[in-house]
Amino acid sequence: MESASPQELKQTSQIEALFRHVGVLREGHFLLTSGLHSPTYWEKFRILQYPEHTGTLCTMIADRFRSDGPAVVVGPTTGGVILAFETARQLGIRGIFAEKDGDRRVLRRDFAIQSGEKVLVVDDVLTTGKSVMETLNAVRSMGGDVVGVGVMIDRSEVAPSFGTALFSCLRAPSLAYRPEDCPLCARGMALTKPGSS
């Protein structure tokens, strides 16, 4: 793995400071959308409520993938809708979203991807990669050519393999436990479910 350049370290420090400033990172005992338990929770909507900050993060994603020539940006509901729209706006292309349909995601509302069309997939917080993978499956089922995945925060302990480039505005590995292995449950800490998809 390559070490980060001084510019990348400075940018990472600034993004971390921004997240802390708006109170994105919470501590306690949380039930994540993935079903895992964690002592930390990244409340993405604390930052997504600010267009200026959201724009800064989407600029990072857009700049990383601009040269790959995406024609459309797709994000999973809910936070991914905001990121897809703003990233697409900055790239001057379409922004659409994939919605839950049972255990998968689909494109509705007359959204379409042409066979061979270059697609950038974006999401807010990456933990297990389930939402991203469901979105990738929806895109690929329509013949889309995925040029990359861009996320706001990659909190995964081991980044999942999506078969394409992965970029995160902030890489912040965070502990997550299966419910049966959770030490917070064993200590009797109350479980909080802060968000849902």
> Which pLDDT value is given to residue 9?
53
pLDDT single digits (tens) 39-59: 988 888 999 999 999 999 999
* Section 62-77 average pLDDT: 96
pLDDT single digits (tens) 131-145: 999 999 999 999 999
Residue 8, pLDDT above cutoff 70: no
> 121 vs 14, which has greater pLDDT?
121
> Which pLDDT value is given to residue 88?
97
Spans of all domains in the chain: 6-186
CA atoms of 3 and 120, how far apart (whole Å): 26
> Which pLDDT value is given to residue 21?
87
> 25 vs 2, which has greater pLDDT?
25
69: left (phi over 0), alpha (psi -120 to 50) or beta: left
Residue 64, pLDDT above cutoff 70: yes
> The domain 6-186: what is its CATH number?
3.40.50.2020
Are residues 129 and 98 in contact, defined by beta-carbon separation less than 8 angstroms? no
> Which pLDDT value is given to residue 2?
46
CA atoms of 131 and 146, how far apart (whole Å): 15
